[in-house]
Structure 1
């Protein structure tokens, strides 16, 4: 039986406050909590950075993922060469996206139970916020606030007390910060904060609120403020580079800077925000000839798989490298691709070859 490693954020915060208080009383530096930086202020001696909060966890590989399914189909049809070419996509755990307005309970429960039976940690993406994707290639989402809250409540209930990582609403916060027609930023942040609160009731759920990527929002204080209004202090951290191609190094640097921006003005004892990075397709980085705009992120050619998923990355405050976007899934009807989220065999083969 799995040892319960995760605890409710309120309990963890109280423990961190107690530990910090003990350290100060003994003349040592503070812990890795908001308002205390790296703990070096009290003594002038820098404390080592806190390691991954997911260290030791083994990620779950969904046999129904697009990569494993494509390999099985190719083998069953006698397309041995194709199956061998796509084999790397069947060997790495990827996230399961829950992105339809229908009741998410059955699919979330399937994933949660299957992972728990193997003593593995699943990664799920909750992607149904009203006004999703600012009306772009993944437009849609719940009809209104009430529909969304009912949806996320069902999502959370299906997790029960089983361990899971939830990446909450890719692009929702940075779109609101950058400006999105028809989206009231304050209302969206309040809705996301409610979603975090609902998910946080499940004792073994780790919540990472999406924060865009290293090439999007330059105003870190503004982004930090938006994340705080969206409930980041009750989550485990934030997610970067979801469905994007920015390099791991760029996102690690950006994530650390954003985490530090979140520390400023945080209530005493607030745990420092850690983060995860999507490395599924960033092995070659973004296209050099596309400094900005759609060509940088929407089905750019010549890309490659990134570093394999791991829960023990060697970077400050970085909890995991994850394959959140399933390699081979289209970004949208751009660059010759099918609709967003659909399997695109040619793109999958190109990523593996890259």
Structure 2
């Protein structure tokens, strides 16, 4: 479910930024498929994500795709490129030796534009348990990588989704105890940064709320802001909020964020590149209960894996991206 571990190609950063600016101008002049895709998040007194806007990565896969988009596909792809999305940190692309500088640069750029960067940390040992996004670091390497990320985060506010699927998959993987220990250590290493951390809360069509709450409590959800739901999945926001509020009630009122990047039409029961799906609500903070924000965590347009006509997990899939917009 993760992005591809190495970028397929790069273009000059100044050129990328120009593309994003041009895309935004195009939307202002010619209309928009998504409503208020870059509007400021609503402000709330106690929501750490409620005071600003979310960061648009000038080197996202959508931005790179927009550089070569033409004809009828140009507008939709540019719209995706102009919408704030999470930045996935994977060790295959950003190893410990370089990840501090990379994260520090993103955080500084976000601060300069008065936005909040969203990161997904995705490098835990036995990542995805040998499935489409198999990989990750060794038990010895992972703590050092997390510390390097924490150093780059500094004290500026950023949102961090810590290891999607790590806790929800742990029972199937047979490594609940080690996953809990690894998660607790990662929380410790991120604790002095400005990160607003959300653990893996699965989704509404997976484990019962009580089961999710139990493993979240064991992993240390009381020491972070809360948990994330629906990452890389398609369930409706209403279903996710209802499920997450049940989990919250069982975890001492933990807060949560919902991945709405691809849930506009809800789920058809498939998780790997299902047809007929659509982009969902754009990223914005929430003041509803324990719901901190809707975020585009999984990048719309990046494949879930080699299924239903898609390329390997994380690779840009232009046909899939256009389907999400048109549906």
Q: Name the TM-score, length of structure 1 as normaliser.
A: 0.76
Aligned to 2:320: 347
Tell me the equivalent position of 1:278. 259
Q: Give the C-alpha shift of residue 68 in structure 1.
A: 2.1
Note if contact 1:109-1:158 (Cα within 8 Å) is conserved in structure 2: yes
1:122 aligns with 2:122: no
Structure 1 counterpart of 2:291: 318
1:5-50 deviation digits (Å, cap 9, x = unpaired): xxxxxxxxxxxxxxxxxxxxxxxxxxxxxxxxxxxxxxxxxxxx99
Q: Does 1:70 align with 2:65?
A: yes
Q: Within 1, Cα distance between the matches of 2:315 and 2:106?
A: 20
Partner of 2:7: none
Separation in 2, partners of 1:141, 1:115: 27
> What is the alpha-carbon distance in structure 1 between the residues aligned to residue 65 and residue 311 of structure 2?
16
For this pair of structures, how many residues does the alignment match? 280
CA–CA separation in structure 2 for the residues paired with 1:90 and 1:100: 24
- 1:173: how far off? 0.5
User: Is the contact made by 1:50 and 1:317 (CA closer than 8 Å) also made in structure 2?
Assistant: no
Contact 1:328 1:348 in 2 (8 A): yes
Paired position in structure 2 for 1:168: 162
Which residue does the alignment assign to 2:13?
Answer: none
Task: Give the counterpart of 1:81 among 22, 47, 72.
Answer: 72
2:264 matches 1:250:
no
Q: Matches of residues 92-241 of structure 1 in structure 2 within 5 Å?
A: 92-101=83-92, 102-103=95-96, 104-143=99-138, 145-176=139-170, 178-180=171-173, 183-202=174-193, 204-218=194-208, 220-241=209-230
**What residue in structure 2 maps to residue 305 of structure 1?**
279
Instruction: Output the CA distance in 1 between the equivalents of 2:144 and 2:111.
Output: 25
Q: Is the 8 A contact 2:52 2:114 kept in 1?
A: no
Native 8 Å contact 2:202 2:212 kept in 1: no
Where 1:306 maps in the other structure, the secondary structure is coil
- SS class of match (1:81): helix
Equivalent residues of 1:305, 1:327 under 8 A apart: yes
Which structure 2 segments of 5+ residues have no match?
Answer: 1-43
- CA deviation vs aligned residue, 1:330-352 (integer Å, no higher than 9, x gap): 00111111111110000001001
Task: Write out per-residue CA displacement over residues 121-145 of structure 1, whole angstroms, 9 at most, x where no aligned residue.
Answer: 00000000001111100000012x2
Q: List runs of 5+ in structure 1 lacking aligned partners.
A: 1-48, 264-271, 291-295
Q: Which has the larger radius of gyration?
A: 1
Query: For the structure 1 residues 161 and 65, does the alpha-carbon distance in structure 2 shift closer, same or farther, using more than 3 Å as the test?
Result: same
Supply the distance in 1 between the matched residues of 2:223 and 2:191 (Cα, whole angstroms).
7
Give deviations 1:71-126, integer Å, cap 9, x for gaps. 2232xxxx243211323202210000011242222322221121122121000000
- Partner SS, residue 144 of structure 2: helix
Q: Is the 8 A contact 2:222 2:251 kept in 1?
A: no
Q: CA deviation at 1:51?
A: 6.4
Alpha carbon RMSD of aligned pairs, Å?
A: 1.6
Q: Hey, what's the Cα distance between the residues in 2 that align with 1:106 and 1:342?
A: 24
